[in-house]
Structure 1
Amino acid sequence: MKLVVGITGATGAPVAVKLVEFLRDVGVEIHLVVSPWARTTLGVESGVGMDELQALADHVHDHRNLAASISSGSFRHDGMVIVPCSMKTLAAIRIGLADNLITRGADVTLKERRKLVLAVREAPLNSIHLENMLYLSNLGAVIFPLTPAYYHRPQSVEEINEQLAARLLDQFGLDHPASRRWRDDGAAAE
């Protein structure tokens, strides 16, 4: 499997790092694009440097390079996830403003009818945010708010990040050993 991972500057960088780690663990070919603000947020929120993150990816693309392979519909991949997805990026995708490689990659993913997962990060949401999400959902994008689950009784922020990353993997039919699933008796599986 081959996935495009875009990371924007919204809060939630630790989830992005965990997702890339999990994708690596399960053998997915990762095409990584990181926005300039994401680079800043990454250091502030996760303490993970760009060199460390890029080492996990199979291919790293400059956000300014609109001639990169992932900007073409002829480049075959199994989908794209943007985590976290800022409201600026969401709005740009909605209007087709392919002004950087993340928004262009999303545009191509939609036009080729491939899976696009937008792990949106904002609270509270205003009507513009909600309308943009609904519009993109109606085009087939998966709107995935980075909302933690508590049924597995997380003991740390790391466990919350793992659960969110595992749920993002679910969107592509992938499973990771860290995934904790709901059981019939109402308890999270260990």
Structure 2
Amino acid sequence: MKIAVAISGASGIHLGLKTYKLLPSDIEKYLIINQNAKTVAIFEDEGKIFYNEEIWQGPASGSFGLDALMVVPCSMNTLAKIAVGIADNLTTRAASVIIKEQKKLLLAPREIPLSPIALENMHKLSTLNVIIAPPIVGYYSEPRDIDEMENFIIGKWFDLLGIDHDLFKRWKC
């Protein structure tokens, strides 16, 4: 499996980096970051890092063969661009390709409250089979700290993409 994690915006960068880091080692992984997130040198040997300005890089092409793209966090600006087909950077171009190729695209919008415009864009994307999955905690997992809350969220995202993990305690009857 080949997955890219794109970090959009400045708020919530930590969650995007943690998602990238927790991807299993058998997954070929790529990280797409913007100017505000260039502090990710600690990930140099764990995959390939692309900068959002490098629109010519592999994820911009269907022949690159991404199976999924996760935009974590997803700014409302990026979400809006994806919703209307603006492909002016590597993240939005890769998203456009993923939609065209009918692969899995997961967007994790990070802003509250949600405006009617944002909700309309999310609805439009969901009709195209884009997964809209904000980072919302499931309290039934009984998280004890922020780390467990984040693991639950990331685990739910992995579930949506068919990635095996043991990041949270599953519901049992």
TM-score when normalising by structure 1: 0.86
Q: Is the 8 A contact 1:63 1:100 kept in 2?
A: yes
- Residue 127 of structure 1 is matched in structure 2 by 116
List aligned pairs for 1:31-180, cutoff 5 A.
Answer: 31-37=30-36, 39=37, 49-56=39-46, 58-180=47-169
> How far does residue 36 in structure 1 lie from its aligned partner after superposition?
2.0
> How far does residue 35 in structure 1 lie from its aligned partner after superposition?
1.5
> How far does residue 10 in structure 1 lie from its aligned partner after superposition?
4.7
Residues 79-103 of structure 1 deviation map (CA, whole Å, 9 limit, x = unaligned): 1110000100000101111110000
- CA distance in structure 2 between the aligned counterparts of 1:81 and 1:10, rounded to whole angstroms: 16
Q: Is the 8 A contact 1:117 1:141 kept in 2?
A: yes
Q: Which amino acid aligns with 2:116?
A: S
Q: Which amino acid aligns with 2:166?
A: P
Secondary structure of the 1:33 match is: strand
> How far does residue 179 in structure 1 lie from its aligned partner after superposition?
2.7
- Residue 30 of structure 1 is matched in structure 2 by 29
Q: Which has the higher contact order (CA 8 A, sep 6+)?
A: 1
Aligned positions, number: 173
Q: Is the 8 A contact 1:15 1:164 kept in 2?
A: no
Residues 162, 97 of structure 1: alpha-carbon distance in 2 compared, 3 angstrom cutoff: same
Residues 29-66 of structure 1 deviation map (CA, whole Å, 9 limit, x = unaligned): 111101223x17xxxxxxxx41013443x211121111
- Residue 44 of structure 1 is matched in structure 2 by none
TM-score when normalising by structure 2: 0.94
In structure 2, list runs of 5 or more residues that go unmatched. Answer: none
Residues 154-185 of structure 1 deviation map (CA, whole Å, 9 limit, x = unaligned): 1111111111111111111112122321122x
Residues 124-160 of structure 1 deviation map (CA, whole Å, 9 limit, x = unaligned): 0110000000000011100001111111211111111
- Residue 2 of structure 1 is matched in structure 2 by 2
- Residue 21 of structure 1 is matched in structure 2 by 21
Quote the RMSD (CA, aligned, Å).
1.4
- CA distance in structure 2 between the aligned counterparts of 1:10 and 1:22, rounded to whole angstroms: 20
